[in-house]
Amino acid sequence: MTGRDSLLLRARDVRLQLGGRLLLDDISFHLARGEILTIIGPNGAGKTTLLRVILQLLAPTSGEIYRQPGLTVGYMPQKLHIDPTFPLTVKRFLAFARRNCTEQQSSEALDKTGARHLLKAPLHQLSGGETQRVLLARALLRNPDLLVLDEPVQGVDVHGQSELYQLICRIRDASQCGVLMVSHDLHLVMAATDRVLCLNQHICCSGTPATVSSDPAYIRMYGQLAFYQHDPQHHHQHEEAGDAR
Amino acid sequence: MLDDFLLRALLGGVGVALVAGPFGSFVVWRRLAYFGDTLSHSALLGVSLGYLLHLNLTFGIIVVCQVIALLLFISQRQQWLANDTLLGIFAHGALSLGLVVLAFAEGLRIDLMAYLFGDILAITRADLLWIYLGGGAALSLLLWLWKPLLAVTIHEDMARVEGVPVQRVNALFLALIALTVAVMMKVVGLLLVTSLLIIPAATARRFAPGPEIMALLSAVFGCLAVVGGLFLSYFWDTPTGPSIVVAACLIFMLSLTGAPGSWRRQR
């Protein structure tokens, strides 16, 4: 891969307005080969929207996106909803990733994500974690220059989450692809990412995980988030205390 | 010796069932049952316009179904009305418009029941030609579209990222469904078209390890329903279209009793 331009992706002043709502404002960043960039932010911050713009599924209102010519993207969506009436095995599902996909290639991809035993399983019977591994395997089957992962650890328990992040790291090390992913939690993803983009419609802060975690903007955002996300259990106790009085 | 009209009915019914199987599978996978309903409801408008403009009625139905499919495809892009609301507006709007337009055709006596519930016993050679040519064309195009259409059915965005022309695939698929519905009208009538799309497919699901087998099995179950319905109708003098649907339901219920319930287990 030496000699190839290492810049995979660059967004410049990207703005997206839909139905009068400003979803993305003034987003600029870049991603190079072999680099892992994680987008974090609260619900509704525009993380998935930004991925959709990068993937050219949504056109930005203004700004520009440069993608290296001939870029092959492996995309792992946040959710896979397959109607239970649709009979589909993992093997068949994987075969859609590329032309003339052989069983050998599919099992190799599943091997990498630790899910080889699922090759013959029906897709709609997989657990959350299994589904994520199969989705990742499908993205890998494309031999991507760029992996775009939307909440790759969703529905996986905490132990499995850090394991999956390590796996993504190893995949990057082995194939030197670029990785752009979305995560909810900075602390879990910290060890697995080179840079972090903290998003809330606009980019609040960015940099290495260590810089971002001590950035006032990041602390403010997550402080705010804690304020908004009332713990229902907690609330309930308050009421009871009130009644007792 | 089979009666001539019965043989034609059998040929027509089987032809329709063969086309309905694969299309019905996609209708079930993609939850388009109400979409099929909307198209078939609009068919009466095709009949009315066909009469008024002195066109071949099947041709009229095909044209109106295509127009409605196109309108639906375009209007589904807006965000402020839910899809089922939109479909309801189109379905009942088109059906009522068809009835109103029919009232303008003076001196015209039309067997409305035949259009609502089908009149398979009155199938002519020309009808058979429509079924086999129209249905054959729809089926061959579906085969050609098979792989990208499956990819879109699995996950639209993923398919788009992987280079499938999703909009074109969807548009063509809707046009093909419209053609199928128009061709099926004669056999089961506009109120029952959807049943012949979805009941055999639902029956086939339990026995199918993959999409292709499900499509094939749907066609087989559809053919069985047609034969069973004709049989019912012939010996007990019941209305044929509804008899076919009843037969399809019976086969579905039978299949529930003794099959590998591979999809009952999951959530």
| pLDDT 10s digits, A94-134 | 999 888 888 899 999 999 888 899 999 999 888 888 899 99
Give me the pLDDT at residue B146, please: 95
- pLDDT of A41 strictly over 90: no
Torsion of CA A61, A77, A100, B149, to 10 degrees: -70
In whole angstroms, what is the distance from residue A97 CA to residue B19 CA? 29
Which residue, chain included where needed, has tokens 């295509």?
A: B66
On chain B, the residues whose CB falls within 8 A of the CB of A57 are 157, 160-161
- Under an 8 A CB cutoff, do B211 and A93 touch? no
Give me the pLDDT at residue A153, please: 87
The CA distances from residue B198 to B108, B110, B195, in Å, are 34, 29, 5
Give buried/exposed letters for B57-88 (b at 16+ CB in 10 A, else e): bbebbbbbbbebbeebbeeeeeeeeeeeebbb
Residue B229: Cβ-neighbour burial (10 angstroms; 0-12, 13-18, 19+) = buried
Nearest residue on chain B to A126, alpha-carbon basis = B266
Give me the pLDDT at residue A4, please: 55
Which residue, chain included where needed, has tokens 């050998």?
A: A104
Q: How confident is the model at residue A242 (pLDDT cuts 50, 70, 90)?
A: very low
Nearest residue on chain A to B160, alpha-carbon basis = A57
Q: Does B206 touch chain A (CB under 8 A)?
A: no
Q: Between β-strands A178-183 and A21-32, what pairing exists: parallel, antiparallel or unpaired?
A: unpaired
Give me the pLDDT at residue A118, please: 92
Q: Which of residues 124-163 of B touch A (CB under 8 A)?
A: 147, 150-151, 153-155, 157-162
SS3 content of chain A, % helix, strand, coil (to 5): 40, 25, 35
Which ranges in B30-56 belong to alpha helices (H)? 33-52
ipTM higher than 0.90? no
Phi-psi region of B240 (alpha: psi -120 to 50; beta: other; left: phi over 0): alpha
Torsions phi, psi of A149, nearest 5? -120, 120
Give me the pLDDT at residue B258, please: 66
In whole angstroms, what is the distance from residue A37 CA to residue A8 CA? 12
Contact A25, A201 (CB under 8 A): yes
Nearest to A87 among B159, B160, B211 (CB): B211
Taking Cα atoms as reference points, which of B148, B121, B134 lies closest to residue B237? B121
Nearest to B154 among A89, A93, A142 (CB): A93
Give me the pLDDT at residue B2, please: 55
- pLDDT of A170 strictly over 70: yes
Residue type at B185 in one-letter notation: M
In whole angstroms, what is the distance from residue A65 CA to residue A87 CA? 38
* Tokens coding B20: 């309905």
DSSP 3-state assignment of A179? strand
At CA A88, angle to CA A85 and CA A89, rounded to 5? 145
At CA B259, angle to CA B256 and CA B265, rounded to 5? 85
DSSP 3-state assignment of B60? helix
Contact A212, A56 (CB under 8 A): no
First vs last Cα of chain A: how many Å apart? 71
Give me the pLDDT at residue B223, please: 96
Q: Between β-strands A195-200 and A36-40, what pairing exists: parallel, antiparallel or unpaired?
A: parallel
* Tokens coding B261: 């319930």
Give me the pLDDT at residue B203, please: 96
DSSP 3-state assignment of B80? coil
* Three-state helix/strand/coil letters over B210-265: CHHHHHHHHHHHHHHHHHHHHHHHHHHCCCHHHHHHHHHHHHHHHHHHCCCCCCCC
In whole angstroms, what is the distance from residue A220 CA to residue A214 CA? 10
Nearest to B29 among A85, A142, A148 (CB): A85
Question: Per residue of chain B (267 residues), what is the pLDDT tens digit?
Answer: 456 888 999 999 999 999 999 999 999 999 988 999 999 999 889 988 888 888 888 888 999 999 999 998 888 877 778 888 989 999 999 999 998 988 887 766 777 888 888 888 888 888 899 899 999 999 999 999 999 999 999 999 999 998 999 999 999 999 999 999 988 887 888 888 899 999 999 999 999 999 999 999 999 999 999 999 999 998 999 988 899 999 999 999 999 986 555 444 443
Give buried/exposed letters for A51-60 (b at 16+ CB in 10 A, else e): bbbbbeebeb
* Tokens coding A148: 């775009």
- Chain B nearest CA to A159, separation (Å): 24
- pLDDT of A155 strictly over 60: yes
Q: Between helices B33-52 and B83-104, what is the axis angle to 10°? A: 20
Rg (CA), chain A: 20
- Under an 8 A CB cutoff, do A73 and B161 touch? yes
Q: Does A87 touch chain B (CB under 8 A)?
A: yes
DSSP 3-state assignment of A230? coil
In whole angstroms, what is the distance from residue B243 CA to residue B225 CA? 9
Give buried/exposed letters for A173-211 (b at 16+ CB in 10 A, else e): eebebbbbbbbeebeebbebbbbbbbbbbebbbbeebee
Give me the pLDDT at residue A128, please: 84
Nearest residue on chain B to A141, alpha-carbon basis = B162
Contact B195, B248 (CB under 8 A): yes
Q: Give the range among A64-73, A81-90, B256-265 with minimum mean pLDDT.
A: B256-265
Interface test with B, best of A18, A53, A67, A96 (most B CBs within 10 A): A96
Nearest residue on chain A to B266, alpha-carbon basis = A125
Q: In what order do the strands lie in the sheet with A62-67?
A: A21-32, A7-18, A62-67
Nearest to B210 among A83, A87, A96 (CB): A87
Nearest to B266 among A52, A84, A148 (CB): A84
Nearest residue on chain B to A89, alpha-carbon basis = B210
On chain A, the residues whose CB falls within 8 A of the CB of B157 are 52, 55, 57, 75, 77
DSSP 3-state assignment of A184? coil
DSSP A232: H
CB atoms closer than 10 angstroms to residue A5 = 9
In whole angstroms, what is the distance from residue B206 CA to residue B260 CA? 7
Give me the pLDDT at residue B121, please: 86
Give me the pLDDT at residue B259, please: 53
